[in-house]
Structure 1
């Protein structure tokens, strides 16, 4: 059984339909990537999963329908969303940003343990604990955003454009950390403009065009697909 499954999802912004019968699945322990051009519907797919846009169809998590749940309930189930553009709290310290990721946890010992786990992946974040989030570099803010998601102790991590606006050397670091997270058993659904790097680390991929799934396959097959190479990997 898939950990996450979307069945004929249609999503709307007001009267404008953004997704057209999107169906996909993510298995336990997989990295699945969504690739496509800007405005294709990749980010909207993640927002649909998180209950942030008006949606019809079925979304199943661990076999249970969640499409009618509010966003905070979906997060409590173990779905962590790291949005495009980081969306950290710039006026809060790094420590306070991390604590916001565990706002539902009352046990201080548990919060400390989760924070220590974040530091294992992002030692630079530990060095910046008392610094205001808005004064960090773009790469550091992305690390903080992912760390905040990990503070939820999620069952699946939804990453939206984690490489956006970052220097190539930082992008390499971020993708290495995504792989390390996956090696611990973390399931990841990755939206990424850098299709080549996404497919390099993914198990499977879906190509989204104008709100619909145009193609799906194993990541290595998509890397070798001539049409995909010309459209997204050139």
Structure 2
């Protein structure tokens, strides 16, 4: 069943035509990856879904057109976005960052339960609970960014370059957590420059180039595609 569907989505930054008719789907329970070079339109696609960029075309989430919806309403509908560069609140503690992620949750007991659940995936955050986010390592900040997004108990998780700037051993940990989330029912749209690692864990993939989808297929088929190998896996 299709959870998310983009149909002929276009986006502009001033006079720059950033997305040129993006069409893609994410089915419930999948990890779908969007790969491409810098400036191809990967992050803009996620921002368009979240309502952070004005678009043309349709963005359908669980049967509802959310194309013109304000970002905070989209978040409350069940889409959580972990942006490129993590964007945690550096002066706030881990605890405060997590509480900010639950901005619309009024039940304090439920917030506490979700914080405890985040420690199952990210036990390091429990050790750093009262530490300012900006004083943690890059890997710990990435864990915090994902945990903060999970505080809304989203139906769909948008991950933008979760491996960026991290040591290989931390990247492996982050990708294992992404797989754990998916095994526990989380639907994920993953934007990632590390195409090999992304395609290894995804069900399906799309290749974006200068704002257009140029390839889409089963992830295993994309891994063996000569065009993908030459451009992204060399």
Query: TM-score by structure 2 length?
Result: 0.99
Matched position secondary structure for 1:3: strand
2:182 paired residue number: 182
Quote the Cα distance in structure 1 between the aligned partners of 2:181 and 2:116: 14
Quote the Cα distance in structure 1 between the aligned partners of 2:17 and 2:74: 23
Matched position secondary structure for 1:67: coil
1:15 paired residue number: 15
- Structure 1: unaligned runs, 5 residues or longer: none
1:113 paired residue number: 113
2:221 paired residue number: 221
Map 1:100-179 → 2, pairs under 5 A: 100-179=100-179
CA shift for structure 1 position 15: 2.3
Quote the Cα distance in structure 2 between the aligned partners of 1:223 and 1:17: 29
CA contact (8 A) 2:223 2:229 kept: yes
Quote the Cα distance in structure 2 between the aligned partners of 1:40 and 1:205: 15
1:64 paired residue number: 64
Moved over 3 A (4+): none
1:2 paired residue number: 2
Quote the Cα distance in structure 2 between the aligned partners of 1:126 and 1:13: 40
Matched position secondary structure for 2:206: strand
Matched position secondary structure for 2:75: helix
Aligned length: 234
Quote the Cα distance in structure 2 between the aligned partners of 1:127 and 1:150: 19
Could you give the per-residue CA deviations for residues 7-59 of structure 1, whole angstroms, max 9, x where no partner exists? 00000112221000000000000000000000000000000000001100000
Quote the Cα distance in structure 2 between the aligned partners of 1:126 and 1:194: 29
Quote the Cα distance in structure 2 between the aligned partners of 1:9 and 1:207: 15
Quote the Cα distance in structure 1 between the aligned partners of 2:11 and 2:113: 38
Matched position secondary structure for 1:142: helix
1:79 paired residue number: 79
CA RMSD, 1 decimal: 0.5
Quote the Cα distance in structure 2 between the aligned partners of 1:154 and 1:95: 19
1:205 paired residue number: 205
Matched position secondary structure for 1:216: strand
Quote the Cα distance in structure 2 between the aligned partners of 1:192 and 1:7: 22
Query: TM-score by structure 1 length?
Result: 0.99
- Structure 2: unaligned runs, 5 residues or longer: none
Quote the Cα distance in structure 1 between the aligned partners of 2:114 and 2:14: 38
Could you give the per-residue CA deviations for residues 110-162 of structure 1, whole angstroms, max 9, x where no partner exists? 00111111100000011100000000000000000000000010000000000
1:28 paired residue number: 28
Quote the Cα distance in structure 1 between the aligned partners of 2:175 and 2:200: 10
CA contact (8 A) 2:54 2:68 kept: no
